[in-house]
Amino acid sequence: MRILRLQLLLLALLPLCAQAEDTWVSNDSYLRGAIKDCAAAGPDRTVCRHFTGEALVRLFGIGDFCTESRCLKAVEIEWELRNTPDKWGALGTANSQAVLDKARELSASGKAVLAVQNNDDRGQIGIIMPGAAVPSGKWGLNVPIAVAARVDRPEASFYGKGINWLFSDPAHVAIYVHLQ
């Protein structure tokens, strides 16, 4: 009986996981193109700065971080995440395997999940993607994959790599999930 209930639960969750995957698959070309544009940005890094806000609108319909004239910088987004607990919930820091696993689970269910670091007002943000965890020897953890545009080093922007590519110290990386 327990096995039957578990199978029924898994069958009920499949459409949610499939929907999350569909969102990412249908936006694959956009995301890869935006990361490529960022990597080639040169001195005008506007495309890199706007990436997180624009990607959240496109993937999840979350328009909190863009206005008609611009999208917020990473440090401004980080401030908003910390100060809008009714919209964004903190899962914990990336040095916890349980937090990383929860981030992957929530991303697979279609939630917007962000990995954020604000270091000396030079923020970095990765958007957690659905998919298998990848081992990070440097962190000693299995990390979720992500997409991120780096304003500080555009050539290091990436799509579909572990979040350890973006952050050096997992203890300084906060993970947030969109609650609405």
Instruction: Return mean pLDDT, the chain.
Output: 87
Predicted TM-score (pTM) of the model is: 0.86
Please tell me the number of Cα atoms within 13 Å of 14 on its side-chain side: 7
Domain that holds residue 87: 2-178
Phi and psi torsions of 51, nearest 5°: -55, -55
The string of pLDDT tens digits covering residues 54-110 is 999 999 999 999 998 899 988 899 999 999 999 999 999 999 999 999 999 999 999
Question: pLDDT-based confidence at 132, cuts 50/70/90?
Answer: very high
Could you give the strand order of the β-sheet that contains 113-119, starting from the edge strand earlier in sequence? 88-93, 174-178, 113-119, 122-128, 145-148, 158-162
Task: Locate 165 and state its tokens.
Answer: 């590519």
What is the total count of domains within the chain? Answer: 1
Q: What is the pLDDT of residue 9?
A: 35
In a 10 Å sphere around its CB, with 0-12 CB exposed, 13-18 middle and 19+ buried, how is residue 124 labelled? buried
Which residue(s) pair with 177 in the sheet?
89, 113
Give exposure, 84-121, as e/b (b: 16+ Cβ within 10 Å). Answer: eeeebeebebbebeebbebbbebbbebbbbbbbbbeee
CATH code of the domain covering residue 163: 3.90.1720.10
> Quick one: which H or E segment has residue 10?
helix 2-26
